[in-house]
Amino acid sequence: MSPQNQPEERGGSKPTPGKTPKERIQATKTTGLLPKWEYFKRMPDGRLLVVHCKLCGKIIYGKRMGPIISQYKDRASKTIVLEREVSYGPLGEYEIAVLEHEDGSSHETPLCATCLDSGISAAQAEAIYHADLEALHAAIRETQGEGEADTWLDAQLRKRPAQLRRRSRITEMMPEA
């Protein structure tokens, strides 16, 4: 007797033996715990174009308007044209969350300050981790091939997220371990 056709338990995040690493990621994706699963876009040269908060969808990294570089009057349209410096980078609500694993390793990921401060459940933290693993797996597959990427993903999924915290200023000032 096997329990069949039972709906996935929301927020249950129980280990699911028998599933391949990629199936486990897909299972998390379909729970809907993470509204903005595909949360970033890159430019053709690889630089980040936009990053959304994975939980609320807010844009936390994107186009920033810099100082005016030149200003002139366009005679044809009779308008003043301002040319500004444009750059791409973190916006006001951008924060780095640190997901610590039981084995002592950690994983850093961007989120908005509001979501990070509002408290994130263990199931949401795992979903955040899985969304990042899917993106990293795709990047590794491009450079090292499917086999290497799958082996890497399997190892990462063995890590159990223990807690999620905001990256503190003290941590930022510490030398690299």
Chain residues binding Zn ion by CB under 5 A are: 53, 55-56, 112, 115
Between residues 67 and 92, which has the closer beta carbon with respect to Zn ion? 92
> Residue 101, SS3?
strand
Q: Position of tokens 């199931």?
A: 123
Q: How far is the CB of 94 from Zn ion (least distance, A)?
A: 10
Q: How far is the CB of 104 from Zn ion (least distance, A)?
A: 28
CA distances from 160 to 21, 122, 126 (A): 14, 10, 8
Q: How far is the CB of 147 from Zn ion (least distance, A)?
A: 36
Between residues 126 and 156, which has the closer beta carbon with respect to Zn ion? 126
What's the DSSP call for residue 104?
S
Between residues 25 and 51, which has the closer beta carbon with respect to Zn ion? 51
116-126: b (≥16 Cβ within 10 Å) or e: beeebeebbbb
